[in-house]
Amino acid sequence: MEEVIKILAPGLTIALGGMLPAFAIGWMASKAMEAIGRNPEAAPKVQTAMILAIAFAEAIAIYSLVVALIIKFV
């Protein structure tokens, strides 16, 4: 039983921790696409803000990845 948990724990950590950030990034990118489509001249500004926001959302996924790595290797 312990072996099963040892294998499942890191896998589930990153799997669950990656779901909501993925959803958030998709949502943000789609809103950014809409904004660019409506106003192509503002594309550089929208793009910069989008990249920043996506970095924030991805950081959450990276936290869960780091926890998974710690569980596996420490």
- Cα–Cα distance, 27 to 42 (Å, whole number): 19
- Pick the stretch among 3-11, 18-26, 31-39, 45-53 that binds other proteins (CB under 8 A): 45-53
Which residue, 3, 5, 6, 22, is CA-closest to 62?
22
Number of residues that bind other proteins (CB under 8 A): 17
- Minimum Å gap between C-beta 23 and other proteins is 19
Q: Least distance from C-beta 50 to other proteins, angstroms?
A: 12
Q: Count each helix (H run) and each strand (E run) in the chain, helices first.
A: 2, 0
- By beta-carbon proximity to other proteins, the closer residue of 1 and 72 is 72
